[in-house]
Amino acid sequence: MQNVFTCQGKENMSPIARNAALCYGCKTCQVVCSFHHTGSFWPERSSIQVSRNPQTGVVRWTIDKTCDHCGHEEQALCVRYCSYNALMKVADENREEQERE
């Protein structure tokens, strides 16, 4: 199951897709995002918020309007450093599907 997130107010950017089946809520994306914005690991200042319900294991993942897809980076850091390959830019996902066909 994939959830597609568009940075609020930035519809011209490719959305980021999160595969809920692969996301374990490790918060690596949240931490690297905070580093991009602040130069330090400060999860509260991240554009991404991740929470995991300890009883159900359900991961809640959101992006707010401060997301800039890591503008000067080659790839959004959340996508680049996701250990479980649960995050992908939608444009990248479509390209991979076309290459498989």
Domains of the chain from N-terminus onward:
2-100 (3.30.70)
* Rounded distance between C-alpha atoms, residue 5 and residue 16, angstroms: 5
pTM recorded for the entire structure = 0.79
* Rounded distance between C-alpha atoms, residue 84 and residue 44, angstroms: 22
Q: What is the per-residue pLDDT across 73-82, written as a single tens digit (0 to 9) for each?
A: 889 999 999 9
- Total number of residues shown for the chain: 101
Q: What is the per-residue pLDDT across 13-71, written as a single tens digit (0 to 9) for each?
A: 678 889 999 999 999 999 999 999 999 999 999 999 999 999 999 999 999 989 998 98
* Rounded distance between C-alpha atoms, residue 5 and residue 33, angstroms: 15
